[in-house]
Structure 1
Amino acid sequence: MQEQADTGAPALKEIFDRPRLAHIAREAAAVSAGFDADVFLTRASENLDALGIMQRMRQVAMGLHAALPGDFAENINVLEALAPRLGHDFVAISLAEYVALYGLDDFDISMKALNFFTRFGSAEFAVRPFLLRDLNRTLAVMEGWAEDKNEHVRRLASEGCRPRLPWAARIPALIKDPSPVAPILERLKSDPSLYVRKSVANHLNDIGKDHADWMLERLERWPLDDPRTAWIAKHALRSLIKKGDSRALALVGAGGKPLVRVETMAVAPPEIRLGGRLSVTAKVVSTSDESQRLVVDYAVHYVKKNGAANRKVFKLRVVDLAPKSTCDLSISQTVKDFTTRKHFAGHHRVDLLVNGETLAQSGFNLLI
């Protein structure tokens, strides 16, 4: 998940508010004469205000289980009829969660159900208990999903076995050794769907946090003249590029030492209050007789509560700079608190990075 500011917008958990639960109850009763709507509403709304979004989603699945009259296989048939009636991707994830909670002992039925439910709301969370219980058997099924005609199923093949999937249980075996997922990534490395390619890139970026060499060696063998594969590689390498990794930069055509000078760099305003907007501008001049690709980023050294600084790198621009030419760069951002980052007063240094090298510095004072 990306950082989200506290802007007063409704919390994500309100996807599962009481009117939504009532809607689920009505639709479930419409497809199952034996569905007990009162039981569902009582169970699904229990302590609702205190629960986060994932807890609410899971409680909906538990409420469905309490209200449905059949065994697991019979209930799956009901939920498959319910899926297209829910009208919201994240709400439909509760159906996949039902499989995760109650289907671990019915592997074949569960795999078919996840294949179906992911078309309405991703089953990326629900497949993970199966991976934790029987990695090889589940990955064998997911390899087949990687060849499915439906892009949602193909995405699940990659997204479901990401070793560090946000909001989900980690898969320790795949953090330790990513090689079992290689067949899936190979099948999807030039997928026509951007939705799928984003997942493959994020999956590889996950792997690169623990096994950078493994990821780099694989990408160095991939056909990067294929624009689809090159797109995956560029986005998979983003964390390593921010660190200035030379092999990662080389894979996107920016491996050489930058032959440039930074003529000007400015951060404005020099003093800002929380909630204000900050701009970073720079003029970069080529000193080379040849064209060169430059990956330009900027890093903000955020002051922490104890006075130390935490460096965070942001993307700025990729530039194909002609010989002896000049490039003007600019970007702006609002300085405000996020759920993942709280700001503190003090001087914040800002670095300009070109192909991973810090070539200029400036900064701003933050007032709280």
Structure 2
Amino acid sequence: MPADVAEYAELKEMFNAARFRAMAKLLADEYPQFDQKKFLALALDGLAELTLIQRMRRMTEAMRATLPADYPAAITILDKVGPRIGHGFVSITLCDFVSVYGHDHFELSMAALGRYTQLGSAEFAIREFIKRDHPKTLAVMTKWSRHENEHLRRLASEGTRPRLPWSFRLAALQADPLIAWPILDALKTDESLYVRKSVANHLNDISHQHPEWLFKRLATWDASHPHTAWIIKRALRTLIKRGDPRALAMIGATAGAKVAVEQFKLTPARVKIGGEINFSFELTSKAKVAQRLVIDYVVHYMKKAGETSPKVFKLKEITLATGESLPLSKRHRLQELSTRKHHPGTHRLEVMVNGVVQVAGEFILSR
């Protein structure tokens, strides 16, 4: 889903009036009785004021009102239309149609989502079925985790994420991560990066509430496999950013790192929203042996109410020999995002090495 305002606006326009007219034509081509006039009247009413998600749902509702009332017949038509849409994000509407209207036809709907996720991800749609009957739905998704198609394998992991962005939380899976563990375990060496990213994100979701459980489970995996090692490292990223010693040890970072951070500079002292700051420093190892170091930085963003909220960013992972020094620098942009609004005030920036703050500075953000 979109991170910045420009990307959100671009995706929103994927559901503009022209898109609805194009969809009407596709539906009419496959269903001669299709009432294009009715579809467009329903779809375009007040379209400009609707959000991205509301526009997507509007298309779903307009299709329901103009396709056959018989759900299997409607799916037959959507099966023909789907490959002709030609846009993955717009194709999510087919999944949305299933999630809203397909609960009385479980097997048919599962098969449809298996097809439609290959056009546009069904990760949001499948959650409506998990919420209603997670044992029955996860039985299907466990089979998908062993499917030859990477889109179905990825759906098995992504759709069961406890904290999937832009979706509701799955209370049962939040409370007991063991429910989806067979899916994750089946995918631990998956050859597809698309799938591995999803598995790691799912595990990272678990780390927020069940870190002890997660460490015990990951310890049973063979980290010598490169795909598994990649998943573990990405899965532990939140705990690594917090400086959790178990997470750092699991990726080979040195416990109690001995370093010196010198010549720290943070400029400019004042910057406007939409601008950028730059910081630099020299990192020197003070240990008698080589050290594996994870360097992050933290920006404490000013919130609307006047308090600050920290956000950790990755900088570099390195191994330094005893006495070795390394100059590091970073440019950090302060543009508006759909997920982060900036507010004027004093902001703090900290440099962390293996989870421990080493040096800090401040800058003032203004409009």
- TM-score category by the smaller chain? over 0.9
Deviation at 1:7, TM superposition (A): 4.9
Structure 1 Cα separation of the partners of residues 54 and 282 of structure 2:
49
Counterpart of 2:249? 250
CA contact (8 A) 1:264 1:284 kept: no
Helix, strand or coil at the partner of 2:203: helix
Deviation at 1:23, TM superposition (A): 0.6
Question: Which residue type is aligned with residue 56 of structure 2?
Answer: M
3-state SS, counterpart of residue 221 of structure 1: coil
- Asked if structure 2 preserves the Cα contact closer than 8 Å seen for 1:99 and 1:110, the reply is yes
Q: Which residue of 1 aligns with 2:229?
A: 230
Matched AA of 1:167: W
**Residues paired across the two proteins, number:** 367
Are positions 1:218 and 2:241 aligned together?
no
Identify the residue that residue 46 of structure 1 maps to in structure 2: 45
Contact preservation (8 Å) 2:344, 2:364: yes
Paired position in structure 1 for 2:125 = 126
Amino acid at match of 1:244: G
Task: Report deviation, 1:311.
Answer: 1.6
Alpha-carbon offset, residue 14 of structure 1: 1.3
Listed as ranges, the matches of 1:1-368 within 5 Å are: 1=1, 3-4=3-4, 6-7=5-6, 10-69=9-68, 71-368=70-367
Shift of 1:357: 0.4
Equivalent AA in structure 2 for residue 137 of structure 1 = K
What secondary structure is seen at the aligned counterpart in 2 of 1:90?
Answer: coil
Q: Which runs of 5+ in 1 are unaligned?
A: none
Cα deviations across residues 195-231 of structure 1 (Å, max 9, x unaligned)?
1111111111111111111222222221111111111
Instruction: Evaluate the alpha carbon distance shift between residue 305 and residue 70 of structure 1 in structure 2; reply closer, same or farther with a 3 A threshold.
Output: closer
User: How far off is 1:325 after superposition?
Assistant: 0.8
Aligned-residue Cα RMSD (Å) equals 1.6
Question: How far, CA to CA, are the matches of 2:154 and 2:181 in structure 1?
Answer: 15
Q: Is the 8 A contact 1:34 1:69 kept in 2?
A: no
Amino acid paired to 2:83: P
Q: Deviations over 1:120-170 (max 9, x none)?
A: 000111111110111100000000001111111111001111111111122
Equivalent pair of 2:349/2:361 in contact (CA under 8 Å): yes
The answer to whether the 8 A contact 2:254-2:291 is kept is no
Q: Distance in 2 between matches of 1:305 and 1:109?
A: 48
Q: Secondary structure at the match of 1:91?
A: coil
SS at match of 2:204: helix
The residue type equivalent to 2:285 in the other structure is: S
| Identity rate, percent | 45
Q: Say whether the 8 Å CA contact 2:259–2:284 is kept in structure 1.
A: yes
Distance 2:310 2:289 in 1: 33
Q: Which amino acid aligns with 1:356?
A: G
State the distance in 2 between where 1:100 and 1:7 align: 28
